[in-house]
């Protein structure tokens, strides 16, 4: 193993020596790393080949339009497409930092992509230039050879996200947050005083009484009014919890008239840091409230005289709504929160900028990702076109969901009720993308800890029934889907897995999270007996298209133009399938079929059964043979299987794919395009479909059985030979060109 790591390290050292690869700017503690190998890709399809493709021309046309002709090809874009591109993510104390590293040839090319508004916002710091996007918490930073996008996502308080604390609801007032309880609380008997109507020049004084209902001493450091005509006074002495105090306010109405509203802002050591009081009233020349003229209204119809009515002036005051005690208090709290949020965003943005600078410098105390032996072992020699590496699932899981999604009995984070450390510690994932001459593939390796690996071995290391191959013809099939699990192993392992996951949950609360059926599995069921009914291995094969005569109901009109229900028939193409399931309980199957016959839902045919499916365009045929339950919608196929005349043909390639893996999917592109009825294809698309049919092969997806602690999955798309595609990446480009008008 040490030799492998040494060899891998030497490969990376050679890579870095030949060019200043951006991998050195990825820190050792990164949780996720994606690498896109520019040189490997451009060796498969050159830049000029891409530019001359239809997709490339469309891409460059859009760039040229956006930059008003500054970018005319990929070279003038300024990005070095022959070097490696990287994305990495860091997680630390609930903060996710996403970083995209792009190699540059000429920073002027990138600069030309910016809008005039963005160019005006560029800031400079030594060799660095950057743009700040406060809304998305993102920094775009670059120097002579590297472009970096850094985005920070921080776990946010519930109120910051949804703003539910902008208003105090009655039920919320009954609960006091534990953190808030440590602050002193200014509880006033009233926060608004209305002095009524006074004469211009009068002086009004009022005392606001309060009690410190908090759990610590209250200190008022300042009190200011919204204008010089209002003077507040207070005591600067500490007020102990439970003690009372006063704040006096004097208002001078000289040189004022009309409606008045004044605010007194109090600075104290409360949680909100500021509190507000309000005084309001009306000022007239003589101190008498204005009245409206007596109005006499005479109704013409009833000639009813209305008595004189004195109406107090209620001229609308825009500020009256906001001066109401309740809404004024909410506005005050909202302003405080907004100020705190703004300050928090400012601090966060400063942190993102510093992170971006540290990334571009690449001067990490712990070293780059090249010091991480797990990463070096996982990604190998770097010959792949792209790689994805995910490390430390437990840390990512713990930080993935903000605490406001799940506060409750088991803690602020909903994951706290799961034993993640036990089940997911030491887990990592690596995916590799490759474009070879004859196929494109994505291979993913999932490394588990010992306990989780054992659960997977028990559940997914089944045994495939070799009798399945008697009812399988690869020349006619369009594809298949196989599952190779162990019912007995699953029934034994799953309850253990659940118990391990909820190890820290008290037993009386377990039913809150675990379905009752899970508990019954471990208590009531006989795993071996159930495995005889359904062993766990099954195979679904799609066998092309079959034209089926379908009966349906519609409506016509008679000579009196009244609708009449009529039954008609039509021919529809129906995909044929055969589902095979291993079972040892033929007698149970036969008993179920006999019950179905008595109920009229099943009919017995020559050696098999036929089941009516409501509203389905076909009947389902069922046969039990060779410890296998066979289910098909093709009567011809099931008849041949019953009498032993079915023409089976399975190559070693398919037998290996089905039996050696815990699951597999195969799609035969040639037969799928061949079997599409011609009358279903619009004339405008026939030429394109013919091209596709002539240029497709097949695709496979497989999930291996456990090998040690590693579970592997791989998807492979094979490309046709002799069609002029020099490799699989060029194949995709050619296919896109053929389909673009």
- Is the pLDDT confidence value at 33 over 90? yes
What are the tens digits of pLDDT across the range 523-565? 555 677 777 888 999 999 998 877 777 676 777 777 777 777 7
**What 8-state DSSP symbol labels residue 684?**
H
pLDDT at 152: 85
CA distances from 646 to 217, 472, 473, 475, 574 (A): 91, 9, 9, 13, 20
Query: For 469-513, how does the pLDDT look when each residue is reduced to its tens digit (9 = 90+)?
Result: 999 999 989 999 999 999 888 888 888 887 787 776 655 555 555
Please check the confidence at residue 193 and state whether its pLDDT lies above 50: yes
Q: In this structure, what token pair is assigned to residue 328? A: 């004024």
Cβ within 8 Å of residue 465, ≥6 positions away: 535, 537, 580, 582, 627, 628
Residue 335, classed as helix, strand or coil, is: helix
Give the whole-angstrom CA distance, residue 718 versus residue 675: 20
Q: Are strands 563-582 and 537-557 parallel, antiparallel or unpaired?
A: antiparallel
Strands 192-199, 274-284: pairing kind: parallel
Where does the pLDDT of residue 692 fall: very low under 50, low under 70, confident under 90, or very high at 90 and above? confident
- With b for 16 or more beta-carbon neighbours within 10 A and e for fewer, the 620-641 pattern comes to bbbbbbeebbbbbbbbebbbeb
Nearest to 611 by CA among 635, 591, 587: 635
- Left (φ > 0), alpha (ψ -120 to 50) or beta: where does 277 sit? beta
Q: Are 338 and 346 in contact (CB under 8 A)?
A: no
Which residues, in sequence order, are CB contacts of 418 under 8 Å at separation 6+? 501, 502
> What tens digit of pLDDT does each residue of 375-392 get?
998 888 778 999 999 987
Distance of CA 237 to the CA centre of its chain: 54
Rounded to an integer, the average pLDDT of 314-326 is 49
Question: Residue 5: phi, psi to the nearest 5?
Answer: -65, -40
Q: Using 50, 70 and 90 to split pLDDT, how confident is the model at 41?
A: very high
Mean pLDDT, the chain, as a whole number?
80
How much is the average pLDDT of 709-732?
Answer: 92
pLDDT, position 508: 54
- Tokens 């492979």 locate to 716
Q: What are phi and psi of 220, to 5 degrees?
A: -95, 120
| Predicted local confidence at residue 383, as pLDDT | 86
Contact present, 579 and 632 (Cβ < 8 Å): yes
Q: What is the phi/psi pair of residue 153, to 5°?
A: -120, 115
pLDDT (0 to 100) of residue 303 = 40
The neighbouring-strand residues paired with 263 are: 278
Q: Which residues contact 301 (CB under 8 A, 6 or more apart)?
A: none
- Tokens 């949804």 correspond to 162
Largest CA distance in the chain: 115
Residues 702/434, Cβ–Cβ less than 8 Å: no
Give Rg (Cα) of the chain: 38
CB 199 within 8 A of CB 284: yes
Handedness of CA 433, 435, 436, 440 (dihedral sign): positive
CA distance 620 to 629: 13
pLDDT score of 66: 79
Cα–Cα distance measured from residue 173 to residue 330, given in angstroms and rounded to the nearest whole number = 13
Q: pTM higher than 0.75 for the full model?
A: no
Residues in CB range of 451: below 8 A, 6 or more apart: 422, 423, 500
671-680: per-residue pLDDT in tens? 877 766 666 6
Report, as an integer, the average pLDDT of 177-195: 76
Amino acid 265: pLDDT: 87
Asked if residue 523 lies in contact with residue 494, where contact means CB atoms within 8 angstroms, the answer is no
Q: In this predicted structure, which of 53-62, 337-346, 409-418, 611-620 has the lowest mean pLDDT?
A: 409-418
The closest alpha carbon to 288, from 192, 193, 202, 229, belongs to 202
* CA separation for the pair 80, 542 (Å, rounded): 47
Pairing mode of beta strands 258-268, 602-604:
unpaired
Q: Could you tell me if 384 and 436 are in contact, meaning their C-beta atoms sit under 8 angstroms apart?
A: no
Whether the predicted pLDDT of 313 surpasses 60: no
Alpha carbons 73 and 65: distance in angstroms, whole number: 12
Tokens of 737: 């060109």
Q: What tokens appear for 405 in the block?
A: 């999604």
Percent of the chain topping pLDDT 70: 79
Cβ atoms of residues 141 and 130 within 8 Å? yes
How wide is the angle at C-alpha 70 spanned by C-alphas 64 and 72, nearest 5°?
A: 55
Contact 637, 579 (CB under 8 A): no
Residue 246: CA atoms inside 13 Å, Cβ hemisphere, count? 7
Confidence band of 519 (pLDDT split at 50, 70, 90): low
Tell me how far apart the alpha carbons of residues 398 and 155 are, in angstroms, rounded to a whole number.
11
């Amino acid at each position: 193993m040490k030799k492998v790591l040494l060899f891998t390290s030497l490969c990376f050292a050679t890579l870095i020596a030949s060019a200043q690869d951006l991998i050195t700017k990825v820190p050792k503690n990164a949780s996720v790393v994606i690498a896109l190998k520019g040189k490997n890709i451009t060796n498969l399809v050159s830049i000029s080949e891409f530019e001359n493709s239809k997709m490339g021309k469309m891409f460059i046309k859009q760039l040229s339009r956006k930059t008003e002709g500054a970018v005319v090809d990929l070279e003038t874009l300024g990005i070095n497409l022959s070097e490696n591109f990287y994305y990495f993510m860091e997680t630390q104390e609930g903060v996710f930092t996403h970083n995209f590293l792009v190699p540059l040839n000429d920073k002027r090319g990138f600069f030309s992509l910016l809008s005039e508004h963005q160019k005006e916002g560029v800031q400079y710091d030594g060799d660095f230039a950057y743009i700040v996007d406060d809304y998305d918490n993102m920094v775009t930073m670059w120097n002579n050879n590297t472009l970096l996008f850094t985005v920070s996502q921080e776990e946010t308080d519930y109120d910051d996200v949804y703003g539910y604390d902008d208003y105090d609801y009655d039920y919320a007032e009954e609960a006091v947050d534990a953190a808030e309880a440590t602050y002193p609380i200014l509880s006033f008997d009233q926060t608004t005083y209305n002095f009524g109507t006074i004469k211009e020049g009068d002086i009004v004084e009022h005392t606001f009484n309060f009690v410190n209902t908090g759990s610590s001493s209250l200190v008022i450091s300042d009190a200011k009014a919204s204008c010089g005509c209002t003077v507040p006074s207070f005591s600067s002495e500490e007020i102990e919890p439970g003690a009372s105090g006063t704040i006096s306010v004097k208002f001078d109405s000289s040189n004022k008239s009309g409606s008045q509203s004044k605010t007194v802002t109090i600075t104290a050591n409360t949680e909100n840091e500021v509190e507000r009081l309000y005084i309001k009233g009306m000022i007239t020349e003589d101190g008498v409230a204005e009245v409206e003229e007596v109005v006499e209204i005479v109704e013409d119809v009833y000639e009813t005289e209305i008595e004189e009515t004195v109406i107090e002036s209620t001229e609308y005051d825009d500020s009256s709504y906001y001066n109401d005690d309740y809404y004024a208090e909410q506005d005050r709290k909202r302003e405080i929160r907004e100020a705190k949020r703004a300050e928090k965003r400012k601090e966060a943005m400063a942190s993102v900028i510093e992170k971006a600078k540290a990334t571009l410098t690449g001067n990490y105390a712990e070293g780059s990702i090249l010091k991480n032996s797990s990463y070096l072992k996982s990604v190998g020699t770097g010959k792949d076109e792209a790689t994805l590496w995910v490390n430390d699932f437990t840390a990512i899981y713990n930080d993935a969901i903000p605490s406001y999604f799940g506060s409750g009995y088991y803690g602020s984070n909903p994951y706290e009720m799961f034993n993640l450390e036990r089940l997911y510690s030491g887990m990592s994932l690596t995916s590799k993308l490759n474009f070879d001459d004859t196929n494109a593939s994505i291979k993913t390796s999932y490394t588990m800890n010992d306990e989780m690996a054992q659960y997977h071995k028990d559940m997914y290391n089944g045994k495939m029934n070799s009798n399945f191959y008697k009812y399988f013809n690869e020349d006619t099939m369009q594809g298949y889907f196989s599952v190779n699990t162990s019912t007995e192993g699953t029934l034994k392992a799953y309850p253990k897995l659940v118990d391990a996951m909820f190890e820290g949950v008290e037993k009386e609360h377990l039913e809150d999270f675990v379905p009752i059926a899970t508990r019954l599995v471990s208590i009531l069921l006989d795993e071996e007996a159930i495995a005889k009914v359904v062993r766990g291995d099954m195979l679904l094969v799609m066998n092309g298209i079959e034209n089926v005569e379908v009966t349906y109901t519609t409506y016509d009109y008679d000579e009196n133009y009244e609708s009449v229900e009529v039954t008609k028939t039509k021919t529809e193409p129906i995909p044929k399938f055969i589902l095979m399931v291993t079972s040892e309980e033929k007698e149970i199957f036969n008993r179920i079929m006999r019950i179905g016959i008595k109920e009229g839902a099943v009919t017995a045919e020559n050696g098999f059964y036929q089941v009516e499916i409501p509203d389905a365009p076909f009947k389902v045929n069922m046969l039990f043979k060779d410890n296998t339950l066979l289910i098909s919608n093709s009567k011809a196929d099931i008849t041949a299987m019953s009498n032993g005349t079915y023409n089976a043909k399975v190559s070693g390639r398919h037998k290996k794919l089905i039996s050696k893996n815990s699951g597999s999917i195969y799609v035969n592109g040639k037969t799928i395009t061949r079997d599409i009825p011609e009358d279903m294809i619009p004339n405008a698309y026939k030429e394109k479909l013919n091209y596709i049919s002539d240029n497709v092969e097949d695709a496979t997806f497989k999930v291996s059985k456990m090998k040690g602690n590693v579970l592997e999955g791989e998807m492979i798309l094979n490309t046709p030979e002799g069609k002029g595609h020099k490799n699989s990446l060029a194949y995709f480009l050619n296919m896109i060109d053929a389909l673009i008008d």
